[in-house]
């Protein structure tokens, strides 16, 4: 397994675990208003919002600088998988928009807490899709050449 | 379009049974790329192709052949 492929697999596993953890926390807290009631939950969310993109940028930029870690074949795979985070993020935004519109149409307003949830989910979905795109890229390259 | 074939595996064995890792370190790529090249699943850039040929001290066409 190529170093980048391993990194993508770890990111996928960590990202899925993080997503499941957040969903579990929200479900156990009852609903999205837990965000207002529980300051520590808000802190965790803020940490995820800031920590995920920073650690992602640091990890990717560091690995891209090492020739023994990422070579021209890996870079070709990264380039080919560039569309996956965009598509996944847009699809998640579409899903949020449809769901929130249908759920809160009568009230005419959406709770502010959803802003944070939308951002966190977009970050998580984007990074998961990037990892998945890279893994799919390796799979396709090994299959088709 | 034709296929690009190569003799990397044979050249490795002719060069003191050079390992894939050794070759990868010499040409500056990962071992997985050498594996993909040997299996004909990846066509290298012209730069990498030259580096591979240089690692074996042979002309480029002795390593890579194009099946038109």
pLDDT tens-digit series, residues B10-22: 999 999 899 999 9
In the predicted structure, residue A71 carries a pLDDT above the cut 70: yes
In the predicted structure, residue A11 carries a pLDDT above the cut 60: yes
Rounded alpha-carbon distances, angstroms, from residue B52 to A48, A86, B16, B30: 44, 36, 16, 13
Task: Enumerate the residues of chain B whose CB falls inside 8 A of the CB of residue A144.
Answer: 41
For residue A39, give both structure tokens: 């300051």
CA separation for the pair A124, A130 (Å, rounded)? 10
Q: How far apart are the first and last CA of chain A?
A: 16
- Neighbouring residues of B43: CB distance < 8 A, sequence distance ≥ 6: A145, B4
Highest mean pLDDT among A42-51, A65-74, A133-142, B8-17: B8-17
The minimal CB distance from B30 to the residues A71, A141, A144 is found for: A71
pLDDT, tens digit, 9 for 90 and up, residues A114-135: 888 888 888 888 888 988 999 9
For chain A, give the secondary structure using H, E and C. Answer: CCHHHHHHHHHHHHHHHHHHHHHHHHHHHCCCCHHHHCHHHHHHHHHHHHHHHHHHHHHHHHHHHCCCCCCHHHHHHHHHCCHHHHHHHHHHHHHHHHHHHHHHCCCCCCCCHHHHHHHHHHHHHHHHHHHHHHHHHHHHHHHHC
Highest mean pLDDT among A11-15, A75-79, A91-95: A91-95
Task: Enumerate the residues of chain A whose CB falls inside 8 A of the CB of residue B28.
Answer: 67-68, 71
pLDDT, tens digit, 9 for 90 and up, residues A14-27: 888 888 887 887 77
In chain A, the residue whose alpha carbon lies closest to the alpha carbon of B33 is A73
In the predicted structure, residue A56 carries a pLDDT above the cut 90: no
B35 inside 8 A of chain A by CB: no
């Amino acid at each position: 397994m190529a170093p980048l492929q391993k990194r993508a697999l770890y990111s996928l596993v960590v990202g899925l675990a993080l997503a499941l953890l957040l969903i579990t926390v929200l479900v156990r807290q009852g609903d999205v208003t837990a965000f207002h009631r529980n300051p520590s939950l808000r802190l965790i969310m803020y940490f995820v919002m800031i920590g995920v993109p920073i650690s992602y940028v640091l990890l990717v930029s560091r690995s891209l600088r090492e020739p023994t870690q990422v070579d021209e074949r890996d870079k070709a795979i990264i380039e080919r998988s560039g569309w996956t985070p965009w598509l996944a993020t847009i699809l998640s935004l579409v899903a949020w928009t449809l769901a929130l519109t249908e759920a809160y149409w009568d009230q005419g307003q959406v709770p502010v807490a959803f802003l944070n949830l939308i951002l966190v989910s977009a970050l998580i979905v984007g990074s998961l899709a990037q990892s998945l795109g890279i893994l799919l890229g390796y799979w396709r390259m090994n299959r088709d050449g | 379009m034709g296929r690009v074939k190569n003799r990397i595996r044979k050249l490795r064995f002719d060069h003191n049974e050079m390992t894939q890792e050794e070759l990868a370190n010499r040409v500056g790529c990962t071992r997985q790329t050498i594996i993909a090249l040997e299996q004909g699943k990846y066509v290298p850039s012209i730069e990498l192709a030259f580096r591979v040929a240089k690692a074996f001290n042979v002309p480029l066409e002795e390593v890579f052949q194009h099946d038109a």
